[in-house]
Chain A
Amino acid sequence: MSTTLESPPQVSAGAGARQLVVALAGNPNAGKTSLFNALTGLRQKVANYPGVTVERKEGLWALEAEQAPARLVDLPGLYSLDAASIDEEIARDIITGRMAEVPAPDVVVAVVDATNLERNLYLVTQLIEAGSPLVVALSMVDLAERSKLEIDAEQLSTSLGVPVVPVTAKSRRGLEELARAVLEAVGSQPPCALWRLSPKAEAEVRRLYAAGAASREGALRDLYSDELPEEAELREAVESARARLSSSDPQWWQEPLTARYRWIEGVTAGAVRGAKDTRPNSTERIDRFVTHRFFGPVLLLLVMTVVFQAIFSWATLPMDLIDRAFGALGEVVRTQMPAGLLTDLVVDGVIAGVGGVLVFLPQILLLFFFIALLEDSGYMSRAAFLVDRLMRGVGLHGKAFMPLLSSFACAIPGIMATRTIENPKDRLATILIAPFMSCSARLPVYTLMIAAFFTDVRLLGFIPVGVVLMLSMYLLGIVVAIVVAWILKHTILKAPPPPLVLELPPYRVPNFLNVLHTMKNRSWMFVKRAGTVILTISILLWALMTFPRSVVKPVPDAQEGAAVQAMRETGVEGKGEPAPSTAKGEGDTSDESLQLEQSYAGRLGQVIEPAIAPLGFDWKMGIGLVSSFAARETIVSTLSIVYNVGKDAGADSPSLIEAVRNAKRPDGSPAWTPLVAVSMMVFFVLACQCMSTVAVVRRETNSWRWPLFMVAYMLVVAYVASFVTYQGGKLLGLG
């Protein structure tokens, strides 16, 4: 701090020459996000580090007036630099300048929670060792004051050897001082580590330094990190030093950790005053209820019900609106453009595809609104605490609960929500089983099947079979997910049960700016990255159902444009679209129907018929299966076309239900039986018929390997289950 007077001119020169890079580091829950938002405002962007799914957040921070703003890199929240997780590895690489996309930071700002000083300072000791100029931003000072904790920032700064600036992001207190401290720290002598090991270990460190280690810090790293140095002579020295240390103490590796904390205890003892009160604070009082043996689970169920309700039903209104808007847009374009292939491509491929992407936005926004709210308030870790025992039974982390639950509404936001799970294998296992949760897109399929074959059928005279079936489908998905998770965790994703060392942060009033930022960032990432894939597949599927053009029956000009529109969601009414050719007479095949039969998709349906016959499906259902890869509910509109009842019939349309009931095989027997319907439902529970899910898994895992694996294994599971259902049913005489 004493260098204030000499440094400014020099600093301004440096700052003018090139953009300063400042990295923001800190523990999770230390108030880092709030500070980042307060420093950068809306000038921030989110991307991914190449090859990994760790989010990369950057913003511009106006350090001083009339100067180019600095580049502020928000590091992932971390407890340590020892690279136990990808997050920590990336943070370490950025700080040490090993990350290609980000130049080595000129200054690192460490956010330190004043109410949780000792643990937060652990990261600071490591940042000091890393050797970049460092500034500590002391956050939550208002909360510390309220709990009668007095922190002497001057004293803390002296003991740490690093400038300390108290800040409060919400009231923007201390932000200017922080900027000044950062400018002063540019190019200054980096702090050096002041803690010491036992004499024996220090002697080994000195010996390694003599043997060629770059510095004391380098020697420490060589001695205590998992890796060995490359150079042979030094490697040998490290190995023998480790052998000497471990012979006298098997837990020798703990020494730096203990030493850092011992030093921290000394630092805080001098700088913190006020009663270290041991009486229960407000968080503990809230937790008496929130993690209570009985009320805890009840509250969790309540919270989950609200979240589920929101994505399941509140989102339907805006989703319908988006759907209708794109449907209407398609109609307008169709009437304005000359009828023909190009129009079809624009309307059925592009517009339907874009609509198919944007239709997920309400659910994603709502889910991330709740997730951000629950994370920011501190409830999310309590939820993980409550369900961890249950999830561990399956080999999953407590944090997998929320994503899986969300997947009952839609797997897309659910899979995006798995980012809170740190361990990549646990996260992957969660992603791979999420699509088994019966999402809302399966409902139209269930509805149609139940309406056609199980209305008014009752079990024991009073239980509607439809309800039982619906419930069974949900249960089937859950059971299969549990089994698959268990298998995955014991084979390709083999790993010990994920450890749970989870901070239960103090309850805090959520910061709505943070919540809004999370919602905005997630939605934008979905639209940008998953959206392009969804759009591509959408156009591809359109082409499959449109080509080759129907030639058998000359088509009247006016009908030329009315090609298959199976991509369209079922809720859309095709307003003002007279369809004279969709008469429902037996054997009177419409143009749409004919076109579909002769298209590649139709031929594919016929080609796969031998394969799906053992499941009880004929080739018309095969077309439905092919087209439903766009989205599950598409099978309803596809069946409507196949059965000539007009493509816009809904799942509860009487004519479609009638057509399904009356559909015949070539030999005159009914195509559908109750058993076929159940087999179809089972197939829909288990198969991954959702290009959006595939796209989002591709995006979240950064490779095509896992989404393709997911499609393949789910298809196998679905096939086997449907096979067992149909053939088993026939053996029991239910066919």
Chain B
Amino acid sequence: MSLAYAAPGHVAELLKRAEGRTPAAVSLDALAAGTHARVAAVRGSGAVARRLMEMGVVPGAPVRVIKAAPLGDPLEVRVRNYHLALRRSEAQTVSVVMSDE
């Protein structure tokens, strides 16, 4: 929970150093449905990453996977109290840390 109040840039920095070592950091597409998490970093670049961030997927934002579409892709996630559909390939660029919310 304390992560949420840290400056998001700082969270990203922590994660970058800890990548591969801490089990708490996973990419959004690997998150089990229903698990609460917070965005740690958006690793992509270009228009899609920008659009994701404009839609509120920025470090620190609460996020939860609701379900996958019937064919396994795209995913439906809840972020900042609304629902967003994104493909697995885009979800892979978002790393999250579990939160106990």
Contacts and interface: CB of A to CB of B under 8 A. Distances in A.
A253 B42 CA distance: 11
Interface in A255-290: 255, 257-258, 261-262, 265, 276, 278, 283-284, 287
A116 B82 CA distance: 7
Interface in B21-59: 36, 41-43, 45, 47-56, 58-59
A669 interface: no
B58 A284 contact: no
B38 to A, nearest CB: 12
A261 B85 contact: no
Given A198-B9, A385-B76, A501-B84, A262 B60 contact: yes
A716 interface: no
A390 interface: yes
Given A257-B50, A499-B48, A389 B55 contact: no
A501 B86 contact: yes
B51 A389 contact: no
B26 to A, nearest CB: 19
B54 A258 contact: no
A638 interface: no
A502 interface: yes
B56 to A, nearest CB: 5
Contacts of B52: 501
B41 to A, nearest CB: 7
A255 B12 CA distance: 12
A502 B76 CA distance: 9
Interface stretch (A293-301, A310-318, A454-462): A293-301
Interface stretch (A60-68, A78-86, A366-374, A553-561): A78-86
Given A251-B12, A254-B58, A502 B86 contact: yes
A504 B56 contact: no
A386 interface: yes
B69 interface: yes
Contacts of A115: 81
A177 interface: no
B14 to A, nearest CB: 13
Contact of A504 (B42, B47, B84): B84
A500 interface: yes
Contact of B61 (A80, A261, A390): A261
Contacts of A440: none
A119 interface: yes
Contacts of B73: 388-389, 392
Given A84-B47, A258-B9, A504 B85 contact: yes
Contacts of B69: 291, 296, 385-386, 388-389
A293 B70 CA distance: 4
Interface in B68-93: 69-74, 76, 80-87, 90
Nearest to A197: B9
A653 B90 CA distance: 57
A79 B50 CA distance: 11
A257 B58 contact: yes
B83 A291 contact: no
A291 B58 contact: no
B18 to A, nearest CB: 16
B85 A500 contact: yes
Contacts of B42: 251, 254
A122 interface: yes
B84 A502 contact: yes
B100 interface: no
Nearest to B13: A249
Smallest CB-CB A-B distances: 6 pairs: A389-B71, A504-B83, A80-B54, A257-B53, A499-B48, A502-B85
20 contacts: A79-B54, A115-B81, A116-B81, A116-B82, A119-B55, A253-B45, A257-B53, A258-B53, A261-B60, A291-B67, A296-B70, A384-B85, A385-B69, A386-B70, A389-B69, A392-B73, A499-B51, A501-B48, A502-B74, A505-B82
Interface of A: 79-80, 82, 84, 115-116, 118-119, 122, 198, 249, 251, 253-255, 257-258, 261-262, 265, 276, 278, 283-284, 287, 291-294, 296-297, 381, 384-386, 388-390, 392, 499-506
